């Protein structure tokens, strides 16, 4: 009976013993893991562990430790101070430089589970608390702000006695999303300065510490600080710099403007104006041509002396400004030619052509001059004085209309001349002393005026010839103060293709090195200078027999490589017809322009046809002046 | 009268000044803690600073050496249990306090003497350690160099501490008696692993003791100044 009751009771009570859970599996507790011990001040320490699964049953944990060299096992004195799953060792229980062998045991109804042991020495596990009382103040250093950060060591760390030595580190960040933390090591000091702040910015500051051998603490709580604006200081300097530089710029501009005129002069030298002796611009401007022209009249022009010998030019020397003048002074006064009225600065103006007494203009030219004067005196002068261009133009006209002896000038070749000269503007800034040159150019270019002229070479030639006139006739007159010589010089660079058979345009100018000269035989009615070559030096006597030769050198065959005009020698007989029957006396004496002399030779076209290389000899130093293609 | 006396003193001083100089100042006065001669030129503070610096360096190098040795020769499971082999630190027997409260209570004199004890105890074992490292197959050169360096520096440290004792405690030089105790035994163990473990223990213990020395000296320093320059 009793046993039966007992069994029933057991059966009834059995469910009570049976676990209520549905299908849970009870097991031993899981092993505690990750035991971590830390000491904040090297005097106490705490150990934490991570519990494993509890196995379904209430589990208790216990920590046991064993000191180094001792087999006595102690249990954790304090499980609560440091929180759950922790063990706190207070000062009395803590030994420094002693290894603790720590084990955590998990216990539940079914059994115990031991964790892995851990050896701990307190000195190596020090991790202090973060520094305290972090203060940040904005201070000013001569107007520039900076941050002064100060803090205190954690309360518990005994730095005072030197038991623990802490080193600090702080970090700063702008309150931007993009900015990064900037770390600064502060050593053992408890204060730090931060410079180079952004004006108006807000900064976040944190600080942490570490014992000399140990772990870093956590970062302290953040301190916020706002930097006041100090923008003005920095920018005012820039504003000042800008204003100053603007002022300098204005000053420079003003200065340049003031001196623009002289600068222009410097950079773009002005084109020289005409320099005619006795030429008065003002008078011209006033419009009273008569007065102007009369001013040009020089007393001793036209030459009235009967000594035309002087006027006869045996040879003409071309004055080169750079070269030495070969002045064959025959006792003539060339002042008229030489002087440039109005401007003493022209050192070479007009001198060359008239300077030497070897002008190709012989005395035949003088009558021509006279003729001219008689015929066109006013006109000519007028032309001269009207302005170089106009004068030359007018000269060109007569040039054009005359029939020159040289008939066979190929128009093609001739055309080269104008083509050569046409691009040359009358007032192109050539050698300022080459006004004569310019005139020549005028003449040449203006040869295009007469349209469809049959023989354009006429024009050129005549133009050239006439140009020389201008030079030589006005020995006492103000004449364009130009040297024919330089003119020609200037043209040498031009590619004048085959200037054919014409007399070397000027034949007036000869370089000093020339040994052969062409003599102006005469000047014909049409104001042509008739040239004939002089076989040798300055023999005047030889000149005469030349007369009958009738060599026509008026045609330029071509230009050789040395820039010499090759004159074509022709024997023209007609020309003699054309000659106005003037006396064919040859005056080979040089003409002195200053002394008006009559040239015995009537203006006769001087057809000189000879294949002479004018390079070295020749009329003019055209060889050197003009580079003519053969 | 007084003037005459002063003048006389001055004259004597002038005459004898080279002699005075040579007597008062030792010729070869190195301002090092390792210097045995007393250099009046160096201050106590400076000397203590230098001694502390030495101790710090020694500790740092010993820590590096220990880590190196551990990496090279100690298998992972044994690393955290330096005591497992059962080797105790040789200086265990020394009467050195090991808790802060204890340490705070002992006097300066005892602090210094403790340091000296430690230093002197370790000179010989370190020499031994250098020789044992040669037996290892792949002892890294850095480890050997560090051990050598530490051994040398320890000797200097000893000299410095002695000088410090002289300065601070005004005690004369005295020979250490600690080494005579023969703390260290040179037994060559048959088992390789045991030998390795012993060496490892040696290094660990030395590291610990170096830290002790450093701490003691720092404590000593902070006790000196009235201004609490350690605060």
In tens, the pLDDT along A37-81 reads: 999 988 899 999 998 887 788 888 999 999 887 889 999 888 999
Instruction: Output the pLDDT for position A377.
Output: 45
Who wins on pLDDT, A3 or A401? A3
Helices (H), A387-492: 388-401, 411-421, 435-446, 456-473, 484-491
CA distance A8 to A2: 10
pLDDT at A409 over 70: no
Say yes or no for a CB contact (<8 Å) between A159 and B63: no
Locate the domains of chain B by residue range: 44-85+98-176+190-225
Which residues 79-118 in chain B show a CB within 8 A of chain A?
80-83, 88, 92, 98-101, 104
Per-residue pLDDT at A232:
59
From chain B, the residues in CB contact with A42 under 8 A are: 100
Burial class (CB in 10 A: 0-12, 13-18, 19+), A213: middle
A91–B101 CB contact, under 8 Å: yes
Nearest-Cα residue of chain A relative to residue B213: A97
ipTM of the complex: 0.76
B163's CB contacts (< 8 A; 6+ apart) are B33, B35, B36, B38, B47
Give the burial class of B101: count Cβ atoms within 10 A of its Cβ; 0-12 exposed, 13-18 middle, 19 or more buried.
exposed
- The Cα A70–Cα A520 span in angstroms is 144
Q: What is the pLDDT of residues B53-65, one digit of tens each?
A: 999 999 999 999 9
The answer to whether B222 contacts A68, with C-beta atoms less than 8 Å apart, is no
Nearest to A395 by CA among A386, A405, A404, A406: A386
Reading the block at residue B212, the tokens are 């002790």
What is the spatial distance between Cα B143 and Cα B141, in angstroms, rounded to a whole number? Answer: 5
- Helix (H), strand (E) at residue B212: helix B192-224
Determine the Cα–Cα distance for residues A247 and A258; give it in Å rounded to an integer: 17
Q: Is B21 helix (H, G, I), strand (E, B) or coil?
A: helix
Which token pair is A439? Answer: 């005139």
Summary mean pLDDT of chain B: 77
Nearest in space to A430 (alpha carbons), one of A511, A362, A486? A486
* CA A84/CA B176 separation, integer angstroms: 51
| A508 touches A361 (CB < 8 A) | yes
Question: pLDDT at position B62, please?
Answer: 93
CATH class of B44-85+98-176+190-225: mainly alpha
Contact B92 A119 (CB under 8 A): no
Q: How far apart are CA A255 and CA A253, in angstroms?
A: 5
Closest CA to A386 of A299, A292, A275: A292
Q: Which residues contact A451 (CB under 8 A, 6 or more apart)?
A: none
**What DSSP element (H or E) covers A33?**
strand A33-38
A-B contacts (CB, under 8 Å): 68
Query: Model confidence over B176-210: pLDDT tens digits?
Result: 555 545 556 666 667 777 888 888 888 888 998 99
What confidence score (pLDDT) does residue A527 get? 61
Nearest CA in chain B to A118: B80
Instruction: Say whether residue B64 is in contact with chain A using an 8 A CB cutoff.
Output: no
The distance of B101 to chain A (nearest Cα, Å) reads 8
- Residues in A 220-249 with any Cβ partner in B closer than 8 A: none
CA distance A237 to A232: 9
Angle between helices B108-135 and B141-164 (to 10 degrees): 160
Give the nearest partner residue to B100 out of A163, A165, A212, using CB atoms: A163
**Beta-carbon separation of B59 and A213 below 8 A:** yes
Q: What is the side-by-side strand order in the sheet with A202-211? A: A182-187, A166-174, A202-211, A223-226
**Contact at CB, A162 and B208, closer than 8 angstroms:** no
Instruction: Inform me whether the C-beta atom of residue A165 falls under 8 Å from chain B C-beta atoms.
Output: yes
Backbone φ and ψ of A114, nearest 5°: -100, 145
> B19 — contact with chain A (CB < 8 Å)?
no
B1-22 mean pLDDT: 67
Query: pLDDT band for position A215 (50/70/90)?
Result: very high
Distance from CA of A152 to the nearest CA of B (A): 10
The counts of H helices and E strands in chain A are: 17, 22
Contact between chains at A101 and B82 (C-beta distance less than 8 A): no
B-chain CB neighbours of A69 within 8 Å are 83, 88, 92
Whether the CB of A160 is below 8 Å from some CB of chain B: the reply is yes
| Dist. CA A476–CA A469, nearest whole Å | 13
- Using a cut of 0.80, tell me whether the model's pTM lies above it: no
Domains, chain A = 33-121 (2.60.40.10), 132-235 (2.60.40.10)
Cβ–Cβ below 8 Å for B212 and A97: yes
Q: Give me the phi and psi of A627, to 5 degrees please.
A: -100, 100
CB A488 within 8 A of CB A622: yes
CA distance A509 to A352: 7
Bridge partner residues of A348 (DSSP)? none
Q: Nearest 5°: phi and psi at A182?
A: -115, 115
Q: Find chain A residues with C-beta within 8 A of B223's C-beta.
A: 161-162
Measuring CA to CA, which residue among A227, A185, A228, A181 is closest to residue A205? A181
Taking the Cβ of residue A305 and every Cβ of chain B, the question of whether any pair is shorter than 8 Å is answered with: no
Q: Closest Cα partner for A503 from A586, A571, A566?
A: A566
Per-residue exposure over A401-431, b if at least 16 CB sit within 10 Å of its own CB, e if not: ebebbbbebeeebbbbbbbbbeebebbeebb
Average pLDDT over residues A265-269: 82
pLDDT of residue A11: 67
Tokens standing for residue B27: 């010729």
What Rg, from alpha-carbon coordinates, does chain B have?
Answer: 23
Percent of chain B with pLDDT over 70: 71
CA pair distance A86, A102, nearest whole angstrom: 12
- Report yes or no: B216 and B113 within 8 Å, Cβ to Cβ: no
Mean predicted lDDT score pLDDT of chain A: 65
Q: Are A341 and A292 in contact (CB under 8 A)?
A: no
Q: Does B67 touch chain A (CB under 8 A)?
A: no
C-beta atoms of A160 and B208 within 8 A: no
Distance CA A477, CA A380 (A): 11
Give me the residue from A96, A97, A165 closest to B218, CB to CB.
A165
**pLDDT (0 to 100) of residue A274:** 72
CA B68-B99-A63 angle, 5° bins: 75
Q: What is the pLDDT of residues A377-401, one digit of tens each?
A: 444 444 444 444 444 444 444 444 4
Residues A160, B231: C-beta atoms closer than 8 Å:
yes
% of chain A residues with pLDDT over 70: 42
Q: What's the pLDDT score for residue A546?
A: 43
Instruction: From A137, A162, A408, A544, select the one nearest B214 (Cα to Cα).
Output: A162
For residues A584 and A557, is the Cβ–Cβ distance under 8 A? no
Within 10 Å of residue A143's Cβ, how many Cβ atoms? 8
Give the highest mean pLDDT range of A47-61, A242-256, A456-470. A242-256
| Contact yes or no for A162 and B230 at CB 8 A | yes
Residue pair B141/B149 in contact by the 8 Å Cβ criterion:
no
Question: What secondary structure, in 3-state letters, does A14-27 show?
Answer: HHHHCCCCCCCCCC
Tokens 């309150």, residue?
A175
- Cβ distance A213 to B63 less than 8 Å, yes or no, reads yes
Cβ-contact B156, B32 below 8 angstroms: yes
Question: In angstroms, what CA-CA distances link B51 with A1, A42, A557, B156, B225?
Answer: 92, 23, 114, 9, 16
pLDDT of residue A522: 59
- Is the link from the previous residue into A622 a cis peptide, with omega within 30 of 0? no
Higher pLDDT among residues B126 and A414, named by residue: B126
Task: Check residue A484 and give its pLDDT.
Answer: 41
**CB distance A160–B104 less than 8 Å?**
no
The neighbouring-strand residues paired with A62 are A105
Only one residue has tokens 């003729």, namely: A371
- Comparing alpha-carbon positions, the chain B residue that sits nearest to A155 is B231
Radius of gyration of chain A (CA): 60
User: A123 — contact with chain B (CB < 8 Å)?
Assistant: yes
- Mean pLDDT of all residues in B35-41: 58
B186 half-sphere exposure, CB direction, 13 A CA radius: 10
CB atoms within 10 A of CB B155: 15
How far apart are the C-alpha atoms of A568 and A209, rounded to whole Å? 113
User: Cβ(A579)–Cβ(A524) under 8 Å?
Assistant: yes
DSSP A271-315: PP---BTT--HHHHHHT-HHHHHHHH--TT-S--BS-TTTB--S-
């Amino acid at each position: 009976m009793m046993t039966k009751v007992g069994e029933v009771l057991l059966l009834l009570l059995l469910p009570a013993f049976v676990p209520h859970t549905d299908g849970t599996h009870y097991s031993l507790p899981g092993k505690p893991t990750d035991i971590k011990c830390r000491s904040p001040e090297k005097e106490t320490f705490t150990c934490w562990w991570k519990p494993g699964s509890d196995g379904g049953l209430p589990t208790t944990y216990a920590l046991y430790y064993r000191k180094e060299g001792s087999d006595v096992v102690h249990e954790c004195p304090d499980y609560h101070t440091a929180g759950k799953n922790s063990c706190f060792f207070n000062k009395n229980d803590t030994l420094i430089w002693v290894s603790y062998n720590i084990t955590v045991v998990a216990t539940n109804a079914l059994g115990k589970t031991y964790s892995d042991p851990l050896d701990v020495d307190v000195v190596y596990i020090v991790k202090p608390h973060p520094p305290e009382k972090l203060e940040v103040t904005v201070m000013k250093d001569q107007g520039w702000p900076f941050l002064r950060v100060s803090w205190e060591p954690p309360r518990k760390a005994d730095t005072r006695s030197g038991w623990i030595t802490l080193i600090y580190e702080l970090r700063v960040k702008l309150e931007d999303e993009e900015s990064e933390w900037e770390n600064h090591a502060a050593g053992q000091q408890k204060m730090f300065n931060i410079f180079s702040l952004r004006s108006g910015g807000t900064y976040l500051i944190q600080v942490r510490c570490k014992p000399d051998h140990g772990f870093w603490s956590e970062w302290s709580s953040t301190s916020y600080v706002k930097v006041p604006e100090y923008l003005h200081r920095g920018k005012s300097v820039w504003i000042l710099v800008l204003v100053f530089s603007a002022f300098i710029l204005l000053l420079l501009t003003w200065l340049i403007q003031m001196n623009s005129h002289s600068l222009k002069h410097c950079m773009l030298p002005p084109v020289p104006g005409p320099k005619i002796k006795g030429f008065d611009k003002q008078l011209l401007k006033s419009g009273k041509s008569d007065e102007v022209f009369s001013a040009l009249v020089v007393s001793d022009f036209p030459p009235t002396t009967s000594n035309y010998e002087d006027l006869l030019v045996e040879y003409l020397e071309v004055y080169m400004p750079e070269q030495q003048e070969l002045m064959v002074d025959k006792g003539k006064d060339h002042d008229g030619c030489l002087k440039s009225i109005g401007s003493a600065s022209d050192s070479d103006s007009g001198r060359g052509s008239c300077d030497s007494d070897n002008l190709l203009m012989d005395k035949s030219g003088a009558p021509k001059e006279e003729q001219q004067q008689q015929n066109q005196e006013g006109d000519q002068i007028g032309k001269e004085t009207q302005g170089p261009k106009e004068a030359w133009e007018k000269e060109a006209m007569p040039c054009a209309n005359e029939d020159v002896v040289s008939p066979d000038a190929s128009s093609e070749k001739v055309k080269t001349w104008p083509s050569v000269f046409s691009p040359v503007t009358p007032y192109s800034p050539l050698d300022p002393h080459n006004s004569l040159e310019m005139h020549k150019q005028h003449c040449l270019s203006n040869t295009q005026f007469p349209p469809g002229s049959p023989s354009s070479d006429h024009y050129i030639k005549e133009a050239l010839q006439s140009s020389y006139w201008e030079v030589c006739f006005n020995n006492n007159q103000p004449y364009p103060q130009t040297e024919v010589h330089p003119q020609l010089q200037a043209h040498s660079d031009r590619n004048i293709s085959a200037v054919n058979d014409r007399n070397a345009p000027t034949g007036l100018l000869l370089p000093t090195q020339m040994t052969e000269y062409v003599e102006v035989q005469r000047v014909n009615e049409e104001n042509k200078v008739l040239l004939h070559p002089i076989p040798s030096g300055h023999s005047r006597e030889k000149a005469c027999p030349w007369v009958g030769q009738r060599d026509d050198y008026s045609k330029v065959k071509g230009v050789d490589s040395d820039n010499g005009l090759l004159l074509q020698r022709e024997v023209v007989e007609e020309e003699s017809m054309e000659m106005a029957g003037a006396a064919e006396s040859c005056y080979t004496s040089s003409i002195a322009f200053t002394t008006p002399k009559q040239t015995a030779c009537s203006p006769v076209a001087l057809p000189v046809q000879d294949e002479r290389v004018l390079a070295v000899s020749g009329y003019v130093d055209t060889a050197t002046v003009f580079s003519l293609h053969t | 009268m007084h003037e005459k006396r002063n003048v006389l003193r001055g004259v004597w001083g002038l005459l004898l000044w080279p002699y005075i100089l040579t007597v008062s100042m030792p010729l070869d006065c190195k301002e090092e803690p390792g210097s045995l001669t007393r250099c009046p030129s160096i201050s106590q503070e400076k000397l203590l600073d230098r001694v502390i610096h030495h101790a710090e360096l020694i500790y740092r190098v010993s820590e590096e050496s220990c880590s190196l040795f551990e990496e090279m020769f100690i298998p992972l499971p044994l690393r955290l249990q330096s005591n497992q082999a059962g080797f105790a630190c040789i200086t265990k027997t020394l009467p050195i306090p090991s808790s802060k409260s204890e340490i705070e209570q002992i006097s300066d004199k005892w602090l210094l003497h403790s340091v000296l004890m430690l230093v002197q105890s370790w000179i010989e074992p370190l020499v031994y350690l250098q020789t044992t490292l040669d037996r290892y197959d792949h002892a890294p050169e850095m480890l050997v160099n560090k051990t050598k360096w530490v051994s040398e520096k320890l000797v200097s440290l000893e000299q410095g501490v002695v000088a410090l004792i002289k300065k601070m405690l005004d005690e004369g030089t005295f020979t250490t008696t600690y080494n005579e105790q023969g703390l260290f035994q040179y037994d060559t163990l048959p088992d390789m692993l045991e030998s390795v473990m012993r060496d490892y223990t040696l290094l660990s213990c030395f590291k610990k003791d170096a830290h002790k020395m450093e701490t003691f000296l720092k404590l000593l320093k902070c006790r000196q100044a009235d201004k609490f320059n350690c605060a």
